[in-house]
A and B are shown apart, each in its own frame.
With several copies, the nearest count.
Chain A
Amino acid sequence: MARIVVTVMLKPEILDPQGAAVRGALTRLGLSGVSDVRQGKQFVIDLDGALDSEREMVLTKLAGELLANPVIEDYQLRVED
């Protein structure tokens, strides 16, 4: 079994109203010096069997096409064990 974690974050230059709302709340609730908060998504994908190179290729492609919207988002893929 392989576990792949894909994290998707809005590109730095894109407005992130969700992050801004969280920043406001953290500050109001007593956390000082919060300079920025960005909110993104995390997908935890479990595969039967190992992540062979073919599946890795498919997954990398789908991360950029399905999981993330490359027009506004960046993504990262990491294999956990």
Chain B
Amino acid sequence: MNTTPISVRRDIDTVERAGSTPDVQQPWADLGLKPDEYQRIRDILGRRPTSAELAMYSVMWSEHCSYKSSKVHLRQFGAKQPQTDAMLVGIGENAGVVDIGDGWAVTFKVESHNHPSFVEPYQGAATGVGGIVRDILAMGARPLAVMDSLRFGAPEHLDTPRIVSGVVAGVGGYGNCLGLPNIGGEAVFDSCYQGNPLVNALCVGAMRHEDIHLAKASGVGNLVVLYGARTGGDGIGGVSVLASETFDATGPAKRPSVQVGDPFMEKLLIECTLQMFAEKLVEGIQDLGGAGLSCATSELASNGDGGMRVHLDRVPLRDATLSPEEILMSESQERMMAVVHPDNIERVMHICQRWDVTATVIGEVTNASHLQVYWHDDLIVDVPPRTVAHDGPVYDRPFHRPAWLDARQSDEPTTERCPRPSTAEHMRQQILELLASANLCDREWLTSQYDRYVLGNTTTGRGIAVSLDCNGRFGALDPYVGAQLALSEAYRNVAVSGATPLAVTDCLNFGSPEDPEVMWQFAEAVRGLADGCLELGTPVTGGNVSLYNQTATTAIHPTPVVGVLGVLDDVRTRITMHGAKPADAVILIGATQEEFAGGEWAHVVHGHLGGTPPQVNLVAERSLASVIRDHRHLITSAHDLSDGGLAIALSELVLRNDYGLDVSFADTDADAFTMLFSESVARAVVTTASENVDAIRAACELVGLPSALLGTVTADDFLSITTADGVITLSRAELAEGWSRTFARIMS
């Protein structure tokens, strides 16, 4: 790479000049600022901003960085936060931190990289993983694992394989190279995501309590160190309007349209940062993500004592033609910023050198209350940092319930609209049809591209369980309930492992906030999630909002992806899907109602989306979790019921194990069809030695949960289901037939 400085004569817009030339026309509108926002900047500064200041404000006050449309709603997560001692660091930091006992803490967060993944699926997804990992690292934690929640367009659409293969290779390529096991996620196909695929990546990390680090620059005289990759012209499309004015005839080099990740650099960054933490050399730290140096400097300064001086000309560049405005806004990946006491600087530089990471002191903490940025000898930014980082505009955008929602909700999947299977054979065919559908088939094509074994020794005895879930169709039927159902599913997923759910992170993917109907969906989803978290006692510790996921006037389904983190005080007591033995009893815990709206059966068999989604019952979810946790020594395996209901859960148990199941519904009130395909909440199938059945069922009764003895685990290869209309028999090979081939078929 060419790093020889080319001397380009620049016309620098200094603070001094800004003071004396109030009437210069500035391209604030091209930078996405509204007239009143530009005026506010002038009011704050008491003069016009310099072009560098304009660059900083415009990017920091963007939707992406300032959450200006969502902020008023997100406040509910704080206002309705349940009382819990577990939360060590809450919303507002890079990621929330949760106490898991014995002096250990865990931090986790999910973030979106949706639009970049549509433009360039591999790099978009890869840099998404890179970004969330740096967030976790910036909290002081060692990143332990990643997860990914993915949504693609229709399985049969021509563009879908391009996006899926690129995204999966990108998530895998980046995460595998960092040595972070991928511990799960989701992959959902639906035509509503056609031009707007969703790539949400989660990272979880662990640390000792005393190692928690915050993003703040305090201590006058402390040094500001930028380390990691050199700064290039990535992600600065917007500011080119500023750059173009400031170049002479030679003009700037072309700016990249896509950011490329360098996972090897990130791995070095992780190791070198962890070594600095271990030696207690870091006073404050921040990753560089969206808005790059603009964000890192203004946030560090405003969370600290306020004063910071930065010499922008010291930033190591990949492209010598970058203007100061561009350097401030560059989103080049794999960079971090640390605040270091002068006594420790030599050691920090040594560690970076050992890991072959470029590190540069670019500034220091001052006792002034301003963030001051210099370009050589010129002062080009002189701002109160809070006004950039925290005091951005806040909009209370208008919203209203969509007029079409009543019609959609009354379009229930009745027996007239969605005829039910009439015979046992018919039901058998529909089980196979569901198993072979895009959203329920085997994900091995995808998961086998992710390393899941590295770092086997991270167990500290304690274990953590994380699940990421959402069903966008439920959100489309009722966003309030949809958000709670996502929470409910993730909570249940964690609970069936025997873990105690502790905390929540979320990624809210929606259409345009400027559409009042979309804004209503957003507001409802947030309200639902906040209410649900309060009731479950699991606080939201952080998350991400992704808006404008829409093509023309068509928005994606409201897709609030929810991540729940749980803890096991001893991993050896965890429950898996694999521990059952022949002759074990199979018990269904939880109540089944006739609930098909938004479910897989209506979607796959009838292509129907209408009605009201399954009823939320968070009290029952809590009870289910406590019964499973308290009886985990008796439970040999467990599987939660979610997409596709009991039919899919039973099939998966047979598919993923070397035993069969023989069940019937004699012990239940509902008909076989409802039992098999309903998606009622708060249910799980557990297996246990026959002598423990009574203990488990008594425990269920004690907390008011119905339970039913379904049958037994058998030593053969069959799923056999006895119904009033005859016996449904499915061999493992028959179950696997469509299930194991669908994903590869979609990809070909």
Contact = CB atoms under 8 A, between A and B. Distances in A.
A–B contact (CB under 8 angstroms): yes
Interface stretch (B208-216, B252-260, B374-382): B252-260
A71 B120 contact: yes
Given A15-B229, A15-B232, A20-B262, 4 more contacts: A11-B256, A13-B256, A17-B262, A72-B123
Contact of B257 (A15, A16, A19, A71): A71
Interface in B187-209: none
B260 A14 contact: yes
Contact of A15 (B2, B262, B356): B262
B120 A13 contact: no
B4 interface: yes
Contacts of B253: 12-13
A69 B256 contact: no
* Residue of B4, B119, B256 with most chain A CB atoms under a 10 A cut-off: B256
Contacts of A3: none
B319 interface: yes
A19 B333 CA distance: 17
Interface in B109-129: 119-120, 123
Interface string B315-349: 00011000000000000110000000000000000
A21 B2 contact: no
Nearest to B233: A13
Contact of A14 (B4, B256, B265, B356): B256
A46 to B, nearest CB: 8
B249 interface: no
Contacts of A24: 356
Interface string B265-291: 100000000000000000000000000
A10 B319 CA distance: 15
A36 interface: yes
A27 B194 CA distance: 28
A35 interface: yes
A72 B258 contact: yes
Interface in A37-73: 46, 69, 71-72
Interface in B425-470: none
Chain B at the A interface: SS class: loop
B1 A19 contact: yes
A11 B258 CA distance: 10
B264 interface: yes
A13 B254 contact: yes
A21 B264 CA distance: 9
5 contacts: A12-B254, A13-B319, A15-B232, A20-B1, A23-B1
B120 A72 contact: yes
A68 to B, nearest CB: 13
Contacts of B53: none
Q: 9 tightest CB-CB pairs across the interface, nearest first?
A: A17-B262, A15-B260, A13-B256, A13-B254, A14-B256, A71-B120, A72-B258, A36-B2, A36-B1
B748 to A, nearest CB: 10
A24 B259 CA distance: 21
B257 to A, nearest CB: 7
B234 interface: yes
A80 B48 CA distance: 51
B585 to A, nearest CB: 49
Interface in B82-100: none
Contacts of A69: 120
Contact of B255 (A10, A13, A72): A13
* Residue of A11, A17, A36 with most chain B CB atoms under a 10 A cut-off: A17
**Interface size class, chain B:** 20 to 34
Contacts of B4: 35
* Residue of B1, B4, B123 with most chain A CB atoms under a 10 A cut-off: B1
Nearest to B257: A71
A68 B38 CA distance: 42
Contacts of B123: 72
Contacts of B256: 11, 13-15, 72
Contacts of A36: 1-2
Contacts of A23: 1
A47 B232 CA distance: 21
B260 A72 contact: yes
A35 to B, nearest CB: 6
A24 B268 CA distance: 15
A71 B260 CA distance: 11
Contacts of A15: 229, 232, 234, 256, 259-260, 262, 318, 332-333
Interface string B148-190: 0000000000000000000000000000000000000000000
Nearest to A15: B260
Contacts of A72: 120, 123, 256-258, 260
B724 to A, nearest CB: 50
Contacts of B265: 17
Interface string B384-410: 000000000000000000000000000
B462 to A, nearest CB: 36
Contacts of B232: 13, 15
Contacts of B233: 13
A36 B256 CA distance: 18
A35 B2 contact: yes
A71 B120 CA distance: 7
A40 B366 CA distance: 46
Nearest to A28: B356
Contacts of A10: 260
A17 B319 contact: no
A46 B541 CA distance: 49
B380 to A, nearest CB: 24
Contacts of B262: 15, 17, 20
B121 to A, nearest CB: 10
A16 B256 CA distance: 12
Contacts of A21: 264
Given A21-B264, A69-B120, A71-B119, A14 B258 contact: yes
Nearest to B262: A17
A69 B120 CA distance: 9
A19 B332 CA distance: 17
B610 to A, nearest CB: 39
